[in-house]
């Protein structure tokens, strides 16, 4: 995994179990967001294979994707209303009539706590609301798997707490499999069940498992520093 002749990660192998809340963790420049681009089919791996739900690597050019994606900062189209943003995938990948699409859009927005903003422009809502709207858009086609890129980054504590609660609800009540790229420790310890930790220097996965156990039990100083936010090489 990498760009051109630059390798970011090698021999990276992991599985995400159905219904898990799984995190890809690591310091800046280790390849977290790049790995996400490979997982969702925006890039082709330099080697190896990706299999999602038993159907191989994602191919965004041949049909409806089997997952939803929330990009950093939400990535809503600023010239469209919140409702129009959520409706996009339904319009592209289904033959549903406009009234059915509208009903689904309203339902998805209510699910993420945004029942009253369907006709608002993205510029008229807060950062946390934009991310909620992006999650509603990611869920429009009823996927079993969603990818969230830095969902809590840049949010105030209250908005971050509310977004964590939403992720727990989606996973617990709906049985969604959630893959998160994040570095927010509070969110990691609250919502993540399983994680891998990437390392920039060794270009490898240096830890995997329950983040709470890694915080408390890992003997690797790199892992200790990450989960305990310290520069000291002690465990």
Q: Where are the domains of the chain?
A: 1-43+145-235, 75-142
pLDDT of residue 198 exceeding 70, the answer is yes
Mean pLDDT of 92-115: 93
* Nearest-angstrom CA–CA distance, 103 and 59: 29
pLDDT of residue 23 exceeding 60, the answer is yes
* Nearest-angstrom CA–CA distance, 152 and 165: 11
| pLDDT-derived band at 232, boundaries 50, 70, 90 | very low
Mean pLDDT of 211-234: 82
CATH among 3.30.2320.30, 3.40.50.300, 3.40.50.720, 3.10.20.600 for 1-43+145-235: 3.40.50.300
Cα Rg of the chain, angstroms = 18
- pLDDT at residue number 135: 92
- pLDDT at residue number 234: 40
**Whole-structure pTM value:** 0.87
Query: Cβ(1)–Cβ(146) under 8 Å?
Result: no
Question: Which of 35-49, 57-71, 164-178 ranks highest by mean pLDDT?
Answer: 164-178
Residue (of 200, 76, 58) closest to 126 by Cα position: 76
Distance spanning both ends of the chain, measured CA to CA: 30
If one counts every other C-beta atom within 10 angstroms of the C-beta of residue 228, the result is 14
Mean pLDDT of 125-140: 91
The pLDDT tens digits for 104-120 are: 999 999 999 898 899 99
Going from the C-alpha of 213 to that of each of 14, 31, 120, 189, the distances in angstroms are 18, 23, 43, 10
* Nearest-angstrom CA–CA distance, 235 and 233: 7
Q: 162: left (phi > 0), else alpha (psi -120 to 50), else beta?
A: alpha
- pLDDT at residue number 46: 72
The pLDDT tens digits for 59-86 are: 666 667 778 999 877 789 999 999 999 9
Mean pLDDT of 116-127: 92
pLDDT of residue 96 exceeding 70, the answer is yes
């Amino acid at each position: 995994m990498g760009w051109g002749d630059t390798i970011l990660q090698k021999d990276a192998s992991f599985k995400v179990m159905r219904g898990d809340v799984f995190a890809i963790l690591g310091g800046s420049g280790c390849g977290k967001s790049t790995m996400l681009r490979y997982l969702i089919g925006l890039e082709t791996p330099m080697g190896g294979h990706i299999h999602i739900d038993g159907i191989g690597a994602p191919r965004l050019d041949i049909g409806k994707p089997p997952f939803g994606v929330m990009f950093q900062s939400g990535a809503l189209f600023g010239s469209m209303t919140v409702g129009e943003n959520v409706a996009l995938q339904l319009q592209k990948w289904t033959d549903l009539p406009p009234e059915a699409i509208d009903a689904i859009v309203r339902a998805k927005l209510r699910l993420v706590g945004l029942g009253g903003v369907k006709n608002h422009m993205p510029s008229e809502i807060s950062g946390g609301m934009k991310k909620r709207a992006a999650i509603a858009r990611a869920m429009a086609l009823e996927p079993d798997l969603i990818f969230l890129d830095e969902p809590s980054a840049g949010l105030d504590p209250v908005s971050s707490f509310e977004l964590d609660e939403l992720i727990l609800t989606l996973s617990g009540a709906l049985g969604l499999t959630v893959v998160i790229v994040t570095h927010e420790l509070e969110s990691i310890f609250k919502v993540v069940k399983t994680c891998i930790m990437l390392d920039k220097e060794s270009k490898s996965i240096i830890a995997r498992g329950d983040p709470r156990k890694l915080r408390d039990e890992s003997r690797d100083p790199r892992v200790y520093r990450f989960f305990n936010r310290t520069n000291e090489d002690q465990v």
